[in-house]
Amino acid sequence: MDFQGSHKFSAPPQKVWDALNDPAVLKASIPGAENVTKNGNTFDITIHVSIPMLSGDFALPVQIASENPPSQVVLTIDRAGSYGTIKAQATIDLAADGGGTNLTYTAHADLSGKIGIADNPIGGQAAKSGLNQFLKNLDSKV
């Protein structure tokens, strides 16, 4: 499953960067987020999912693989559980654009087991919709 896209914020890169690193802002922005904490280079995120055949609370440890504040961060997920496995990597770039910030992202995820059911055009569209909602929610908090 591959994603790429962009979002324009009216805030400067440092303010967007700070929001992306604030667990309270992330919890308020991530659709379905039940809990978000940051421990060192790991965000521990619990998300409630309610889609047919895949419903419940899922814990996702999101690692900061590398970062160059306030312009780039690479995030990874490597999680296995009763629902299957997720191996994912996302690169987020922030660039000044006038008085605001242009955020661009690329991501790739390999899903297997029960969660693999989401690796199809409908699941991809649902994930993209959730990502767009996250960016809109984040924009309202910045």
**Which domains does the chain show, CATH number per domain?**
2-141 (3.30.530.20)
Between CA 37 and CA 18 the distance in angstroms is 15
User: What contacts 90, CB < 8 A, 6 or more positions away?
Assistant: 3, 74, 75, 76, 105, 106, 107, 108
3-state secondary structure of 124: helix
Please name which of 113, 103, 70, 73 lies closest in space to residue 89, comparing C-alpha atoms. 73
The confidence band for 122, taking pLDDT boundaries of 50, 70 and 90, is low
Look at residue 111 and tell me whether its pLDDT is greater than 90.
no
**Contact criterion met (CB below 8 Å) for 111 and 86:** yes
**Contact criterion met (CB below 8 Å) for 115 and 51:** no
pLDDT tens figures, 75-105: 999 988 777 888 999 999 999 999 899 999 9
Look at residue 43 and tell me whether its pLDDT is greater than 90.
yes
Q: What is the pTM of this model?
A: 0.90
Look at residue 57 and tell me whether its pLDDT is greater than 80.
yes
Look at residue 7 and tell me whether its pLDDT is greater than 90.
yes
Look at residue 130 and tell me whether its pLDDT is greater than 90.
no
H or E, element range at 15: helix 13-20
The pLDDT score that the predictor gives to residue 81 is: 79
